[in-house]
Amino acid sequence: MTRSPRFGWLLGTALLVVGLGPGAPGLVGPPPAAAQAPQLAVQITAEPPGLDLTATPASATATVVFYNIQEALVKVDAQGRLVPWLAERWHTTDNLNYTFFLKKGVRFHGGRELTADDVKFVLDRARNPETKHPNARHYEDIATIHVRDPHTVTIALKQNNAMFLHNLARQGSVIYPREAVDQLKAHPIGTGPFMLDRWDRGDRVILKRNPDYHVKGLPKLDRVTFRFIPDTNAALAALQAGDIDVMAFGLGPESVEVVRRAPNLQVILGETTSDVILALNNSKKPFSDVRVRRAITHAIDKAEVVKGAMFGLGRVLGSNVDPLNPYFVDMSKAVPYDPARAKQLLTEAGYPNGLEAVLKVTPQYPYTVRTGEVLVGQLEKVGVRVKLEQMEWGQWLDRIYKNADYDMTIIGHAEAWDAGNYANPKYYYRYDSARFQEVYAASERTLEEKKRRELYAQLQKIMADEAPVVWLYVYPRLVAAKKGVQGIWKDLPNPSLDLSEVGWAK
């Protein structure tokens, strides 16, 4: 090995320090495992706050567990379509009673077959407020769950719910064996392509192949290691050094060029459902005035924001319905960049000399800080003098999200189909529009495709008109991987990291 002589001086010093003789074994380890080995080391930024999808909506938990360890009756695929999964088909004649036919021969990790009783148990538990499911409301329209035979279950709804199937595809709807309910947090069991091998708290989660996976020929990998590396520079160095194979979420837009230029690395660039917004406190003066909110929207050059804060990556947005949503309408031009109009609206609203506001951002998400810096400059030009304040994430959740104690803030909302937040006047936007709430309620109860599309178009128009927040851009999907890694979803229609079809090029 030609490396040894150059290594000498460091090793010499080090050994001296450690007090080891030169007899220490293995001076330099072998190079990292050959690229063809059917395993994958994936960096994620945050460690999951527990592995129970029915106890936390954290995207770190979804990344590790959803689609990999546990699956649901219905799946959102890479193209964002709803496809049958653990239920191989379903039918309904009245949109109230849905009968699901479970796929036969699906086994829980190392154990028995999945049956309709598990489905009933899981959904009954989810809709019971006592169990503290993070989104019990997703199941509140369920009236009864009737097990017809081990592979057939009928769910009766209290009323029409256009989101019902979609809700069954969410991460909180995963099916687990009823006897393993107490170990969800530390050792979840499911039907997924991988099973949990171990979770070294604070360091990594290791998954191993499920030999009985119900989709033949999958997964392609034998082993997946998720490593928690919060520092993006450290993660990039680990990728460059070959210690990890994929940076799943940690790649910042500023590092995309570095990865692109590296001969052995690739960048995967796609869309997500994460809408980055400038939230305005609608219950507080001056943002309770729609003219002020529209003025702020007019004052912001979103294309410039994407250029300045995101190195040009990310799609400009005009409402809370993202481009991956089938009912997406491009509203980004509805309230265009127009500083003159912004000033005029501010004057009409009684602020001819502009106004002052505090914009809170959190360094937990560096894009919020960078975006905030660009916005301060843009708003200044129309007389809105903004003071930028950084806030720790735990405080942000408490002060802003829980108590709406703020003027303006920037954050990305990752969840798909989250327009309902604007119909909830208690949500931290404190946006209370009877018009919006009415149309949204109608959209929830309307199943006819054409009508529903119309209602969604209307929703998007109301959002743009009433400007409860400023929708800035869609956070791009940025993945860095070694060349040869294949099968990673380009777009991300929901928070997940499906590794079932990921493998290495032959």
Rule CB under 8 A: which residues touch other proteins? 3, 6-7, 10, 14, 16-20, 24-26, 28-29, 31, 47, 49-50, 55-58, 129, 132-137, 185-186, 200-203, 227-231, 233-234, 237-238, 240-243, 364, 392-395, 397-399, 401-402, 411, 413-415, 418, 426
Secondary structure class of 465 (helix, strand, coil)? helix
295 or 411, CB closer to other proteins?
Answer: 411
Shortest approach of other proteins to residue 434 CB, angstroms?
22
Query: Which uninterrupted H or E stretch holds 458?
Result: helix 449-466
Min dist CB 95 to other proteins, Å, is 25
CB 133 within 8 A of CB 214: no
Contact residues for 5 (Cβ-Cβ < 8 A; gap 6+): none
CB of 260 to other proteins, least distance (A): 17
Measured from the CB atom, the residue of 221 and 391 that comes closer to other proteins is 391
Closest distance to other proteins from the beta carbon of 123 (Å): 16
- For tokens 């154990």, the residue is 111
Nearer to other proteins, 70 or 225 (CB): 225
Sheet with 194-200, strands from edge to edge, namely 194-200, 204-209, 223-228, 39-44, 246-247, 477-482, 265-270
Closer by beta carbon to other proteins, 421 or else 458:
421
CA separation for the pair 161, 221 (Å, rounded): 38
DSSP category for residue 45? S
Amino acid found at 376: V
DSSP states along 119-172: HHHHHHHHH-GGG--TTGGGGTTEEEEEEEETTEEEEEESS--TTHHHHHTSGG
Provide the sign of the torsion angle of the four alpha carbons 462, 463, 465, 468, taken in this order.
positive
Q: Kindly state the smallest distance separating residue 498's Cβ from other proteins, in Å.
A: 19
CB of 116 to other proteins, least distance (A): 27
Q: Which is nearer to other proteins, 146 or 402 (CB)?
A: 402
Euclidean distance between the first and final Cα of the chain, in Å? 28
In this structure, what are the phi and psi dihedrals at residue 417, rounded to the nearest 5 degrees? 55, 50
**Residue 286: cis peptide before it, omega within 30 degrees of 0:** yes
Task: Tell me whether residue 187 or residue 284 sits nearer to other proteins (CB atom).
Answer: 187
What backbone torsions phi and psi does residue 177 show, to the nearest 5 degrees? -70, 135
Q: Is 490 helix (H, G, I), strand (E, B) or coil?
A: coil
Q: Which is nearer to other proteins, 14 or 505 (CB)?
A: 14
Shortest approach of other proteins to residue 132 CB, angstroms?
Answer: 5
Q: Which is nearer to other proteins, 192 or 250 (CB)?
A: 250
β-partners of residue 410 are: 278
CB 17 to other proteins: min, Å: 5
Written as six digits, the tokens of 282 are 């609608």
Q: Determine contact, residues 468/257, Cβ cutoff 8 Å.
A: no
What minimum distance in Å lies between the beta carbon of 482 and other proteins? 14
Which lies closer to other proteins via its Cβ, residue 199 or residue 351?
A: 199
Q: In the complex, what is the shortest distance from the CB of residue 333 to other proteins, in angstroms, rounded to a whole number?
A: 28
The number of angstroms, rounded, from the C-alpha of 450 to the middle of its chain's C-alpha atoms is 28
In the complex with other proteins, the residue whose CB is nearer, 233 or 390, is 233
